[in-house]
Homo-oligomer: A and B are copies of this chain.
């Protein structure tokens, strides 16, 4: 089957290619009977417009790049659903890029983004530096960062849809204080350092306001293959804090198992809150307390913001920062 072009359709319908183009793009200056003729020719030949040629002619690809850390695929699934659904609504294609330590450095990803001439970029706030954003900005590519709040001075052309993790942690710690709990520890998640940083800032602030110092930020090095091996080791030697905050479900579950195996009871000896929700938290016994973050909305709002920036940058000039609210979903590991 030969590649059908707009010329073939034009010949078949006995019109010029301009008319075919008008039909494709719903221009309303086409007479009804010629439109019909063209439509029939399109059907008959199975013609599909060449998006590449359209992109070249219009300097617009109707394509948006999404950049995500390879390791966070599974965890960002719902955000991605939100992104994809909205992109679909606005008829944008999605170019998908992943970053990892070995093969695909952020620099290479940026290179291919620029070459692809995508209309915009969605960045997950866990895997890029300010320099890299600066490069995209030099090439005038609008972007939206999703996840946590950007720090540093704002670069133009950048939107930000985020959860206020600093406030989340601050409020949570204060609630703990009110219940008389001030022995709190927080387990680091190496996959999401920017969010950890903000959480820690919130905890620090709450402690500082009480004239205390937070010093139970639990980190472990890569010699431990997983947080589980570390934690089960740790809780054999250390008594758990009365309240532990983890970021990710696997850490919460690891901690739960480690505590149980070391003879500690949850929530009686130690309470547990996992920042990121997941269905696995409710599958555990006791069911693990968490925060409810509207992940789908995070993605949907981010993509909607980007599409707005694309069609009319003025209308969103003032409010490119959108904070998404969260709520508590405390279950059986807290009391």
Contacts and interface: CB of A to CB of B under 8 A. Distances in A.
A85 interface: yes
A22 interface: no
Contact of A250 (B94, B111, B254, B279): B279
Contacts of A94: 95-97
Interface string A1-32: 10100000000000000000000000000000
B70 A73 contact: no
Contacts of A250: 279-280, 283
A73 B66 contact: no
A139 B253 CA distance: 49
A117 to B, nearest CB: 5
A192 to B, nearest CB: 16
A52 interface: yes
B114 A85 contact: no
Size bracket of the A interface = 35 or more
Contacts of A56: 50, 52-53, 56
A80 B98 CA distance: 10
Contacts of A283: 228, 250, 253-254, 257
Nearest to A55: B52
A108 B87 CA distance: 13
Interface in A82-102: 84-85, 88-89, 93-98, 100
Nearest to A116: B51
Interface string A59-73: 101010010001001
Contacts of A88: 98, 103-104, 108
Contacts of A285: 257, 260
A156 interface: no
A140 interface: yes
Given A51-B117, A250-B279, A93 B73 contact: no
Most chain B CB within 10 A, of A56, A85, A88, is at: A88
Interface in A287-324: none
Q: Which 7 A-B pairs have the closest CB atoms?
A: A96-B96, A73-B77, A74-B77, A51-B115, A74-B74, A52-B55, A253-B283
B85 A103 contact: yes
A81 interface: yes
Most chain B CB within 10 A, of A52, A104, A112, A253, is at: A52
Given A70-B81, A115-B51, A95 B96 contact: yes
A54 to B, nearest CB: 8
Contact of A74 (B52, B73, B253): B73
